[in-house]
């Protein structure tokens, strides 16, 4: 004859809804008629960072700008550099619109990872900052102006957004990394 009863002894440092991380069963004591087992489960809450919010806003903005540019210029694989058109007071080519959609999508993906993929967001911010600086340093007309239709206004946009994303990834704190331990004690009566 076997009778199961569960006594739960919970030790929590916070009341947030945690996600299980690991579980193990270890026998603690054995009596003639009672077997007691403890099962320990470590849990931690989901982490987040303000860098995620910064990356998400920038990513959505770049995707929207790129889609608007592609809608205005069209996208023909035979002519990815032309036509040049103004979108939200910024000159665009179809190639620049496609690059903005891809860059924004990468920012969004990096922002959706719990705690933020901070090194990845920092890398994307550094790329945008470097691209913005290159556009600002180059004299017009140049090859970038021909391929992407970028001007100094575009350079300022990429440079400022890249700097904000980079600084957010480097210096924004991470919240919610608490760990909880839950101990479940099982008594099994054996006859």
Expressed as residue numbers, the domain containing 25 is 2-43+177-190
23 in the same domain as 60? no
Q: Any idea how long the chain is?
A: 191
> Per residue in 65-85, pLDDT tens?
999 999 998 888 888 888 888
139 in the same domain as 103? yes
Q: Give the chain's domain count.
A: 2
152 in the same domain as 108? yes
For residue 18, the number of C-alpha atoms closer than 13 Å in the C-beta half-sphere is: 21
User: What pTM was computed for the model?
Assistant: 0.67
Which residues face 102 on adjacent strands? none
Check residue 188 and give its pLDDT. 64
> Per residue in 98-147, pLDDT tens?
999 999 999 999 999 876 688 999 999 999 999 999 999 988 778 888 88
The pLDDT confidence band at residue 41, using thresholds 50, 70 and 90, is low
181 in the same domain as 165? no
How large is the angle between the packed helices 118-137 and 50-73, nearest 10 degrees? 50
104 in the same domain as 57? yes
62 in the same domain as 11? no
Q: H or E element: which one contains 164?
A: helix 152-171
């Amino acid at each position: 004859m076997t009778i199961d009863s569960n006594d739960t002894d919970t030790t929590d440092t916070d009341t947030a809804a945690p996600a299980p991380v690991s579980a193990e069963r270890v026998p603690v004591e054995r009596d003639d008629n009672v077997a007691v087992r403890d099962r320990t489960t470590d849990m931690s809450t989901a982490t987040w960072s303000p860098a995620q919010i910064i990356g998400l806003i920038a990513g959505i903005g770049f995707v929207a700008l790129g889609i608007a540019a592609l809608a205005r210029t069209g996208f023909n694989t035979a002519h990815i550099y032309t036509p040049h058109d103004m979108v939200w007071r910024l000159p665009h080519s179809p190639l620049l619109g496609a690059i903005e959609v891809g860059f924004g999508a990468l920012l969004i993906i990096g922002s959706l990872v719990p705690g933020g993929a901070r090194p990845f967001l920092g890398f994307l911010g550094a790329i945008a900052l470097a691209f913005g600086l290159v556009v600002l340093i180059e004299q017009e007309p140049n090859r970038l102006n021909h391929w992407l239709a970028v001007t100094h206004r575009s350079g300022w946009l990429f440079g400022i957004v890249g700097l904000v994303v980079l600084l957010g990834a480097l210096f924004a704190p991470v919240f919610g990394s608490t760990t909880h331990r839950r101990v479940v004690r099982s008594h099994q009566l054996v006859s």
